[in-house]
């Protein structure tokens, strides 16, 4: 294995996507915690008078209105998830690359531009950093692998 170095732009992209994913998870969980807080404390919907008429919205719940264990849990998620994200992304990237190698073998894809399993360090890093999107490829690669294997079995018989 060569000692490859990733381009600084790819490293920056990986860090930014990890932080953004962590923030999205944090805000999603905060919204779920706020909904739970409204249900537990039976907060009424608030009525507003707008330009086109009146409308209602759920009662506003600030971060510090939540219970202390919930706040602590959200802060732990905010701090720990970026570390976990790296390991999950690395696993998803390895699985996806292994499936790409198998698909390339089944379909006899040869040559530099056709080999799906030949990833450089930057490709692995990007695939791992955006693993919530990369994981969507896995079912399609499995389907391609199954149908390719069946096709070869039919025509090799």
What does each C-alpha distance from 147 to 6, 35, 94, 106 come to in angstroms? 35, 45, 22, 10
User: Does residue 144 sit within a domain?
Assistant: yes
Say how many domains are in the chain: 1
User: Does residue 95 sit within a domain?
Assistant: yes
User: Does residue 3 sit within a domain?
Assistant: no
User: Does residue 105 sit within a domain?
Assistant: yes
What does each C-alpha distance from 81 to 21, 22, 27, 64, 99 come to in angstroms? 9, 6, 13, 21, 26
User: Does residue 1 sit within a domain?
Assistant: no
**Domain membership of residue 134 as a residue range:** 8-156
pTM: predicted TM-score of the whole model, two decimal places: 0.79
User: Does residue 98 sit within a domain?
Assistant: yes
User: Does residue 137 sit within a domain?
Assistant: yes
For each of the chain's 157 residues, which pLDDT tens digit applies? Answer: 456 788 899 999 999 999 999 999 999 999 999 999 999 999 998 888 878 888 888 989 999 999 999 999 999 999 999 999 999 999 999 999 999 999 988 888 877 767 788 888 999 999 999 999 999 999 999 999 999 999 988 988 7
User: Does residue 2 sit within a domain?
Assistant: no
């Amino acid at each position: 294995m060569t000692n490859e170095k990733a381009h600084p732009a790819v490293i920056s992209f990986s860090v930014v996507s990890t932080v953004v994913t962590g923030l999205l998870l944090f805000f999603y969980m905060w919204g779920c915690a706020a909904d739970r807080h409204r249900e537990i404390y039976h907060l009424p919907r608030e009525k507003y008078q707008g330009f086109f008429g009146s409308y209602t919205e759920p009662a506003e719940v600030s971060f510090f209105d939540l219970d202390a264990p919930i706040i602590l849990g959200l802060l732990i998620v905010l701090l720990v998830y970026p570390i976990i994200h790296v390991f999950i992304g690395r696993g998803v990237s390895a699985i996806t690359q292994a499936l790409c190698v198998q698909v390339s073998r089944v379909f006899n894809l040869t040559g530099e531009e056709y080999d799906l399993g030949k990833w450089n360090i930057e490709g692995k890093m990007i695939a791992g950093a955006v693993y919530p999107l990369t994981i969507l490829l896995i079912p399609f690669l499995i389907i391609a692998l199954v149908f390719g294997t069946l096709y070869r079995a039919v025509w090799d018989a």
